[in-house]
Amino acid sequence: MLVVDDSKLQRKLLTVALKRWGFDVAEAESGEQALELASTRRPDLILSDWMMPGMSGLELCRRFREMEGDDYCYFILLTSKSEKAEVARGLDSGADDFLSKPIDNNELRARITAGERLIEMQRNMAQANRTLSATLGELQQLYDSIDSDLKEAKKLQQSLVKERFRALEGGNLSLLLRSSGHVGGDLVGFFEAGRKHIGLFALDVSGHGISSALMTARLAGYLSSAAPDQNVALQKNANGDFGPRSPEDVVTDLNNLVLNEMETEHYFTLMLAHVELETGHMVLSQAGHPYPAVQRSDGRIEMIGTGGFPVGLLAGTNFEKFEVTLDPGDRILILSDGVTECPGPDDTMLDEDGLTALMHDLAQTRGPAFLEALIWRLTEFKGGDDFPDDVSAILFEYQGLPPT
């Protein structure tokens, strides 16, 4: 505690009382000396006379408040002034309280006790702030670490789609995969399914984030293009070559696998298709995935499919197959609900009508350029590129095989 008064007697009277109450007291006879003492040892409380030669108590308070310090100091001005304007000047300079001369010790003790409560509250708050700052620092480090890991996870997930374009014998294949966050639950891909056959799949795992992405990665292994012996959509024929299985049987097997062998609450929608490149004939099975759009060479658009239940939702579900034949110049677009359910500014979805209009507008746009234009159109429709759901698509443009 620091007592500041140009009167030696007044300082003595205050110091004796304060020490009797158990306080450690320092004295200063001027504002300048008080600032010097406070700069080396910051007091918890200052009792200062208002009227002093040289620097007044008011100026001392103002100068002291300008000094940096982590701990709060309670400042009491001792004065004979009682006018409201003078009191306001003192408060504006940073004073916490006032005591009128002559000093009553009981009142002084009560004012000091009030100051101690405020100082204790300030110290507790400062400690809480330091703890909070340290915790926030640790959380920031943890967030940065997680963010870095998620960025790497996104790279790994994107690497599951090793090729975004493949010129096939009989047609061109383009793929799109765009997660709404770091990682997502969508996946598209293709695999060789025997001589002049290609398999296509598009799936969308429920939910978002890491758990959905992990399940997506696991499912990718069951439809692998690199390991045909592990691909559940393929089977060996009598010659030992791999060929396509009926897609509805594959979806049934995946449904049983998820329900019986995977400990997960996730389910997923799926579109699985086999394409005969020689004829353009396609056999597909739809499990809750959006309806594919077939655009004929004359621009007509047909929505095809049977709907169906998602995979991993209900035991004993029957999945169906359906067929479509593409003629040279036709194309089929298989996409996730992140496209058709993309919301506009008024929360209306793009829906199948909007997709149809979009495909009509882009009828002459081909290959990866079509998928890039699709993203641009969705961005315009949404009013921004912060899509609420993953966006994925497969575009297969059939050209037909040359006659042999």
DSSP 44-92: SEEEEESS-SSS-HHHHHHHHHHS--SS--EEEEEES---HHHHHHHHH
Q: Look up the pTM and report it.
A: 0.67
For 352-372, how does the pLDDT look when each residue is reduced to its tens digit (9 = 90+)?
Answer: 999 999 999 999 999 999 999
Orientation of helix 57-66 relative to helix 84-92, angle to 10°: 30
What is residue 349's DSSP assignment? B
Q: Provide the pLDDT for residue 83.
A: 61
For 28-60, how does the pLDDT look when each residue is reduced to its tens digit (9 = 90+)?
Answer: 999 999 999 998 888 999 999 988 999 999 899
What is residue 351's DSSP assignment? H
In whole angstroms, give the CA distance from residue 217 to residue 186: 10
Residue 376 has pLDDT above 90, yes or no: yes
Torsion angle defined by CA atoms of residues 373, 376, 382 and 385, in that order, rounded to the nearest 10 degrees: 130
What average pLDDT does range 314-338 have in this prediction?
A: 95
Say yes or no: do domains 2-127 and 160-398 share a fold: no
* Residues 247/272, Cβ–Cβ less than 8 Å: yes
Q: Provide the pLDDT for residue 183.
A: 67
Single-letter amino acid code for the residue at 105: N
In whole angstroms, give the CA distance from residue 253 to residue 234: 12
Residue 157 has pLDDT above 80, yes or no: no
> What is Dmax (Cα atoms) for the chain?
120
Per the document, the length of the chain is: 404
Q: Which of 219-223, 225-229, 284-288, 371-375 has the lowest mean pLDDT?
A: 225-229
Percentage of the chain exceeding pLDDT 90: 55
Across 50-70, b (16+ Cβ under 10 Å) vs e yields bebeebbbbebbbbbeeeeee
Q: Which of 70-84, 291-305, 335-349 has the lowest mean pLDDT?
A: 70-84
Q: Provide the pLDDT for residue 354.
A: 93
Residue 235 has pLDDT above 80, yes or no: yes
CA angle 221, 233, 277 (to 5 degrees): 115
CA neighbor of 157 nearest in space, from 189, 132, 128, 127 = 189
What is residue 21's DSSP assignment? T
Q: Provide the pLDDT for residue 147.
A: 65
Residue linked to tokens 């696991």: 218
What is residue 184's DSSP assignment? -
What average pLDDT does range 299-305 have in this prediction?
A: 95
- Backbone phi, psi, residue 223, to 5°: -125, 35
* Residues 120/44, Cβ–Cβ less than 8 Å: no
What average pLDDT does range 259-286 have in this prediction?
A: 93
Q: What are the distances in angstroms from CA 9 to CA 27, 28, 54, 291?
A: 12, 12, 19, 96
CA neighbor of 193 nearest in space, from 284, 123, 105 = 284
The CATH homologous superfamily for domain 2-127 is Response regulator (3.40.50.2300)
In whole angstroms, give the CA distance from residue 228 to residue 340: 32
In whole angstroms, give the CA distance from residue 320 to residue 335: 19
Report the SS3 class of residue 388: coil
The CATH homologous superfamily for domain 160-398 is PPM-type phosphatase domain (3.60.40.10)
- Backbone phi, psi, residue 349, to 5°: -85, 155
What pLDDT band is residue 294 in, cutting at 50, 70 and 90? Answer: very high
Residue linked to tokens 């010790």: 105
Q: Provide the pLDDT for residue 227.
A: 86
Q: Is the dihedral of CA 256, 262, 263, 268 positive or negative?
A: negative
**Of 146 and 355, the one with more pLDDT:** 355
Percentage of the chain exceeding pLDDT 70: 94
The domain segmentation of the chain, as residue ranges, is 2-127, 160-398
In whole angstroms, give the CA distance from residue 30 to residue 108: 21
Q: Provide the pLDDT for residue 20.
A: 92
CA angle 232, 233, 238 (to 5 degrees): 95
Share the mean pLDDT of the chain.
Answer: 89
What average pLDDT does range 77-82 have in this prediction?
A: 77
What pLDDT band is residue 145 in, cutting at 50, 70 and 90? Answer: confident
